Each structure stands twice: as C-alpha cells, then as structure tokens.
Amino acid sequence: MILKMYKIMTRNRRVKKELESYISLRSGIKDKIRRLKENPRRESGAHSLGGKLKGKWACWLGSNIRMVYKIYDSEKMILIEAVGSHKVY
C-alpha cells in the first residue's frame, strides 16, 4: 500500500527562512519533517491546540523548537504558520 505524503508549505517567507535556519543548525529536524509529512497527527509529539489556536497543531522539532501548523487533509497539505520557542503559541 502506498500512502500519499502531505506536502509542506509555509505561511510566508519569514516562516520559511526560520524553518530553513533551524534545519541547517540541527540535523535531526529534516527527518522529523519527513516523518510529519507521512502522519501529521502522530509524529514528533504532535498535538492539537486549543483556545485562540484551536484547529491548529503543534509538534516538537528539537529541545526548545516548536512548530505550529494547520492540516488540510483534502489537499494533503501542512501549512506551517510558526517555528520557534514556546513563544510561538
């Protein structure tokens, strides 16, 4: 059985640059992103958010690096909205 992986998009260029910066600093982040593309609700400590961020998800990319994203199942897309410390919440 072949599963179609989710594609990764970023909300804007700033988020894309932040993500690329973290990827260049920590080798394991690229693998975590790859696994997230396979299952965005289960990998890297993924969890749904509440309150003003209801409908969005977050996961752990490294010791103090979090990523907030929204999942679009019909398009098989993950839209990354923020990357950084817990301040991204």
Q: What local confidence, expressed as pLDDT, does residue 19 receive? A: 95
Please state, in angstroms and rounded to a whole number, the distance separating the CA atoms of residues 63 and 22: 12
- Going from N- to C-terminal start, the domains of the chain cover 7-88
Mind spelling out the 3-state secondary structure of 39-68?
CCCCHHHCEECCHHHCCCEEEEEECCEEEE
Edge-first strand order for the sheet with 77-84 is 7-10, 77-84, 65-72, 57-62, 47-48
CATH of domain 7-88: 3.30.2310.20
Q: Looking at the whole model, is its pTM more than 0.85?
A: yes
pLDDT tens digit sequence for 9-65: 999 999 999 999 999 998 899 999 999 999 999 887 899 999 999 999 999 998 889
